[in-house]
Copies of this chain bind each other. A is one copy, B any other.
């Protein structure tokens, strides 16, 4: 655990946040809101919260208080079996909305932890509910985000249920690449924020298998990997790993 340069762990206080002037707006609230409408949304984010690397945003069992939009940083969500086995259920980056697992039962059903120092916007759920009632585009947006999470989950099932190791890793890299691209980062060169172990957990593989798959890609000139740094040399080739050309 690194000593903390500033005093306290978790929050950076009551500073009001305006979604209307947030650079991530198109990610969080892609629907076409008019200026006057945006003002209403501004009441939604109660406060920002800082989560340091290794800290939890929430844990399984915590009561639902808010949903969270990632402003910066990188996080993972895990579900855990009683016997301690843990399964990474997703990796999250800026613009992603977290916490929807808690709506059903009032308590979070997964752990979410920062993989690097991160900042989230906290949206109290009661306010979100009320605003989305009064303001149809927000309602639609919330439904869309939850639906997309379901679709994403189906994709992970497909990956876990019917792909081989190298296909899984290729799918994983292409997914990361695409998400970085959407956020304005390079789709071909980035740093992984997670360990091989965490990638393996997400993909249903052991860390050694992940490592070997990386090496194989490297040999085939598909990617250049040095530890956490990845450069995709041949995106088409990677896609071909996924769906061998027919």
Chain B residues near A132 (CB-CB < 8 A): 139
A82 touches B139 (CB 8 A): no
> Given that A85-B162, A201-B161, A201-B162 are known contacts, is A147 also in contact with B100, CB under 8 Å in the complex?
yes
Chain B residues near A155 (CB-CB < 8 A): 79
Contact string against B for A residues 72-86, beta-carbon threshold 8 Å, 1 for contact and 0 otherwise: 000000011111011
Considering only CB atoms and an 8 Å cut-off, how many residues of chain A contact the other chain?
Answer: 50
In Å, the complex CA distance between A217 and B140 comes to 47
Determine which of B79, B133, B149, B154 lies in contact with A158 in the assembled complex, contact meaning CB atoms within 8 Å: B79
Q: Which residue of B lies closest to A155 (CB)?
A: B79
A102 touches B156 (CB 8 A): no
B89 touches A154 (CB 8 A): yes
Chain B residues near A101 (CB-CB < 8 A): 147, 150-151, 154
